[in-house]
Structure 1
Amino acid sequence: MNAILPIRRPLTVILANPRGFCAGVDRAIQIVERAIQKYGAPVYVRHEIVHNHHVVARLRELGAVFVEELHECPDDRPVVFSAHGVPKSAPAEAERRNMFYLDATCPLVSKVHLDAERHHMAGREIVLIGHAGHPEVDGTLGQLPDGAIKLVETVGDVAFVQVSDPDKLAFVTQTTLSMDDTADIITALKARFPNIVGPHGRDICYATTNRQEAIKTLSPGCDLVLVVGSSTSSNSQRLVEVAMKAGAQDAKLIDDADMIQPAWFEGVSRLGLSAGASAPEVLVEGVLDWLAARFDLSISTEETARETVIFKLPRVLVEETAAQ
Structure 2
Amino acid sequence: MLQTTSNGTVTTGTKPSLTIRLCQPRGFCAGVDRAIQIVVLAIKKYGTPVYVRHEIVHNRYVVEGLQKLGAVFIEELNEIPDENQHCPVVFSAHGVPKSVPADAKARNLFYLDATCPLVSKVHKQAIRHHRHGRHVLLIGHAGHPEVIGTMGQLPDGAVTLIETEDDVRSFQPQDGLELGFVTQTTLSVEDTAHILEALQERFPAMQAPAAESICYATTNRQEAVKETAPGADLYLVVGAPNSSNSRRLVEVAERAGARMSLLVQRASEIPWDDIGDISILGLSAGASAPEIIVDEIIEAFKQRFEVTVDLAITATETEDFPVMRALRDVELTKADMAFVNGER
Amino acid across the alignment from 1:224? L
Provide Cα deviations, 1:230-274, integer angstroms capped at 9, x if missing partner. 111000000000000001100000001111122244221100000
Taking only the aligned residue pairs, the percentage that are identical comes to 59
User: Is the Cα contact below 8 Å between 1:166 and 1:193 reproduced in 2?
Assistant: no
1:68 corresponding residue in structure 2: 75
Which residue does the alignment assign to 1:55? 62
- Equivalent AA in structure 2 for residue 37 of structure 1: K
Q: How does 1:125-274 map to 2 (within 5 A)?
A: 125-165=135-175, 168-274=178-284
CA contact (8 A) 1:12 1:269 kept: yes
Decide whether the 8 Å contact of 1:229 with 1:275 is kept in 2.
yes
1:81 aligned partner, one-letter code: F
Q: 1:41 maps to what in 2?
A: 48
**1:15 paired residue number:** 22
Alpha-carbon separation, structure 1, partners of 2:127 and 2:15:
58
How far apart are 1:167 and its partner, in Å? 5.8
What RMSD, in angstroms, separates the aligned Cα atoms of the two structures? 1.2
2:122 maps to what in 1?
A: 112
| SS of alignment partner, residue 307 of structure 2 | strand
State the distance in 2 between where 1:294 and 1:95 align.
55
Deviations 1:117-171 (A, max 9, x none): 0010000000000000000000001000000000010111101112124661000
- Among 87, 111, 119, the residue aligned to 1:77: 87
Is the CA contact (8 Å cut-off) linking 1:167 and 1:195 kept in structure 2? no
Alpha-carbon distance in structure 1 between the residues aligned to 2:99 and 2:329: 28
CA distances 1:277-316 after superposition (whole Å, capped 9, x unpaired): 0000000000011011110001101111000000010111
Amino acid at match of 2:292: V
Cα shift readout 1:49-105 (whole Å, capped 9, x = no counterpart): 000010001001111111111111242211000000000000011111111000000
Other structure's SS at 1:297 match: strand
Asked if structure 1 preserves the Cα contact closer than 8 Å seen for 2:44 and 2:330, the reply is: no
Q: CA deviation at 1:201?
A: 2.7
Give the Å deviation of 1:200. Answer: 2.1
Which sections of structure 2, spanning at least 5 residues, go unmatched? 1-12, 333-344
Query: How far, CA to CA, are the matches of 1:102 and 1:44 in structure 2?
Result: 10
Give the letter for the 1:299 counterpart. V
Structure 2 distance, partners of 1:167, 1:213, is 36
Is 1:166–1:196's contact at 8 Å kept on the other side of the alignment? no
TM-score, normalization by structure 2:
0.90
CA contact (8 A) 2:135 2:177 kept: no
Q: How many residues align?
A: 317
Given that residues 167 and 196 in structure 1 are in contact (C-alpha distance below 8 angstroms), is that contact kept between their aligned partners in structure 2?
Answer: no
Stretch of structure 1 that moved more, 102-111 or 255-264: 255-264
Q: Which runs of 5+ in 1 are unaligned?
A: 1-5
In structure 2, how many angstroms separate the alpha carbons of the residues matched to 1:270 and 1:319?
47
Q: Counterpart in 1 of 2:103?
A: 93
Worse-matched range after superposition: 182-191 or 91-100 = 91-100
